[in-house]
Structure 1
Amino acid sequence: MELSFDILLLLFAVAGIAGFIDAMAGGGGLITLPALLAAGIPPTQALATNKLQSSFGSFSASWYFVRRGVVKLSEMKLAIACTFIGSAAGAKSVQYIDTNILTSLIPLLLVAISIYFLLMPAAKDVKGKASLPDAMFALCVGGGVGFYDGFLGPGTGSIFALCFVAIAQLTLVEATAKTKILNFTSNIAALLSFILAGLPIWKLGLIMAVGGFIGARFGARVVVTKGQKWIRPLVIVMSMSMALKLLWEQHSQWLLSML
């Protein structure tokens, strides 16, 4: 389908804002996916195009964190592999498994994440002792959350960040950096499935990708320079926003009938 220049420019700007927020707290899809649907893109193509553009944003943030030395890829090889396999398996499984039960549980999980980050003490400047060995963390968190991202997706960044803080005992800045690495990994795995199905709208996706790439670069820079001051409030806001959005989608008719 052909979109006007004004719509393309608007979607470029939307992707930039989403990339900026997503680099710090996740949840950029809350902004870009509704924008794509509002532009008249069919749902399956909107999902695929959104995954295409968000992959560039997560790559931009990941690249910045690696170049700044916040995270070392050599220390994450197993987690990256487990996340990729998990996401690919999730993208395949969603075609055969009923998502209703999981969809109902996700808003509750996001609310719990928000409460955790709201009530947790100030993040440490040095990481503590991890609750799980690295290999077990890679298998359980990388594989499990990766599977969820390929299978459903909302809140993946928040879930990764929570696991890195609560289980791996990382600082909030390092947790955010490692989250983007695994988020990019799961994005690519799911995107490959969409490409094989011929779903992404390439022109639109690549235009938005440029905006997302630029926005994510600035967002990653804010993480390094501002740290907890910006990350923690944004994680709370984006997690609660995702939870409310999902609850509204699931129960809007019932809520309206009560009014």
Structure 2
Amino acid sequence: MEIFFPVSELSLNPLFPVLIGFVLAFFCSMGGISGAFLLLPVQMSFLGFTSPSVSATNQLYNIVAIPSGVWRFYKEGRLIPPLVKAVVIGTLPGVFIGAVIRVYYMPDPDLFKLFVGCVLLYIGIRMIRDLLGKKQATAGGGAQGSGRVEVLPSGFFEVRFIFREKEYHVGAAGIMALSGIVGIIGGIYGIGGGAIIAPFFVSVFGLPVYTVAGAALMGTFITSVAGVIFYQILALLNPEQAISPDWLLGILFGIGGFIGMYPGARTQKFVPERWIKWGLCLVIAWTAGNYILGYFF
């Protein structure tokens, strides 16, 4: 049984977007990624949904899918409020700027896909160098991933916490600056930002992937709410364009993501950190190659 989605002009079995959302969320949530940055190529390349509305639909997926994963990280004591705050403060202005660029200056996403592909390729190379240059434990299981995060007093300019008896501290200004750039990218394509922020936390700031996944997901959720609202406002100002999200399609994607996000977040602590990093590298490499090669061919 197929139903028609008027905004995206697609006819699909409603179980199809639910299944796609589930698969993406289950595997991507382990690394603090909602899966939206992979959902975008699926919509554009396989479904032919390419109008600016696809960006807002992607962010709607984040809103529905992410809460279950964030709740799991919160219950396990792996959600770091100061890190979330730094991400949100930096990302929100970028989301608004990105939405304006997408609607008024970049209705054709090909050139920006090339840019995103180059950024992801750089991140992937950094992570591979880190993995090949450091001998890391590969044993998974409870001892590897069961630790809770102890948040230390953190000021406006610094985030501090203890994880597995080791203290970590990172400048909040650097996180906010990175998040601002990520927000612009996320505002244009509706990818939320977790796909870029999470690897940067791991490879550039040196934070354990077990501690950053919850913050990356929570930041993506909050900025996606803002993004959908702003796209809806732009839709009212530009009624001749398809800008507002395809609500039914986005909710169905999100339902699948919501179901998959919780078991993915729960499974993460049983998977060796090195495996998660390599998984992120493969996902990033695939996405970067798809964007870069797609621009030239």
TM-score interval for Structure 1 and Structure 2 normalised by the shorter chain: 0.7 to 0.9
Counterpart secondary structure, 2:206: coil
Which structure has greater strand proportion? Answer: 2
| 2:144 aligned residue | none
Alignment deviations for residues 97-127 of structure 1 (CA, whole Å, 9 cap, x no partner): 4677654332222222222222212389566
Cα distance, 1:100–1:34 mapped onto 2, change above 3 Å: closer
Cα distance, 1:6–1:106 mapped onto 2, change above 3 Å: closer
Equivalent residue for 1:222, pick from 245, 267, 279: 267
What percent of counterpart residues are identical?
A: 22
| 1:52 aligned residue | 60
Is 1:79 the counterpart of 2:87? The answer is yes
Cα distance, 1:175–1:39 mapped onto 2, change above 3 Å: same
Equivalent residue for 1:235, pick from 258, 275, 280: 280
Letter in 2 for 1:9: L
TM-score normalised according to structure 1 size: 0.81
Counterpart secondary structure, 1:164: helix
In the aligned structure 1, how far is the partner of 2:166 from the partner of 2:93? 28
In the aligned structure 1, how far is the partner of 2:54 from the partner of 2:114? 22
Counterpart secondary structure, 1:94: helix
Which structure 1 residue ranges, 4+ long, deviate > 6 Å from structure 2? none
Once the 2 structures are TM-superposed, how far is the Cα of residue 247 of structure 1 from its aligned partner? 1.4
In the aligned structure 1, how far is the partner of 2:42 from the partner of 2:103? 25
Cα distance, 1:126–1:80 mapped onto 2, change above 3 Å: farther
CA RMSD of aligned residues (A): 3.1
Question: Relative to structure 2, which stretch is displaced further, 158-167 or 209-218?
Answer: 158-167
In the aligned structure 2, how far is the partner of 1:96 from the partner of 1:116? 34
| 2:39 aligned residue | 32
Q: What are the within-5 Å matches in structure 2 for residues 26-175 of structure 1?
A: 26=33, 28-29=35-36, 31-37=38-44, 38-39=46-47, 41=49, 43-74=51-82, 76-97=84-105, 102-120=112-130, 121=134, 122=136, 130=169, 132-134=170-172, 136-152=173-189, 156-175=193-212
Alignment deviations for residues 57-92 of structure 1 (CA, whole Å, 9 cap, x no partner): 233322221222101325532432222232223222
Cα distance, 1:6–1:67 mapped onto 2, change above 3 Å: same
Once the 2 structures are TM-superposed, how far is the Cα of residue 180 of structure 1 from its aligned partner? 1.4
Is 1:212 the counterpart of 2:287? The answer is no
Report if the CA contact (8 A) 2:66-2:261 is conserved.
yes
In the aligned structure 2, how far is the partner of 1:8 from the partner of 1:100? 29
Once the 2 structures are TM-superposed, how far is the Cα of residue 147 of structure 1 from its aligned partner? 2.4
| 2:13 aligned residue | 7
Report if the CA contact (8 A) 1:128-1:170 is conserved.
no
In the aligned structure 2, how far is the partner of 1:217 from the partner of 1:35? 22
Once the 2 structures are TM-superposed, how far is the Cα of residue 217 of structure 1 from its aligned partner? 1.2
Report if the CA contact (8 A) 2:209-2:273 is conserved.
yes
Letter in 1 for 2:27: I
Cα distance, 1:94–1:202 mapped onto 2, change above 3 Å: closer
Counterpart secondary structure, 1:60: helix
Aligned residues: 250
TM-score normalised according to structure 2 size: 0.72
In the aligned structure 2, how far is the partner of 1:28 from the partner of 1:172? 16
Letter in 1 for 2:232: I
Letter in 1 for 2:97: A
In the aligned structure 2, how far is the partner of 1:47 from the partner of 1:75? 26
Report if the CA contact (8 A) 2:4-2:11 is conserved.
no
Letter in 1 for 2:244: L
Report if the CA contact (8 A) 1:48-1:194 is conserved.
yes
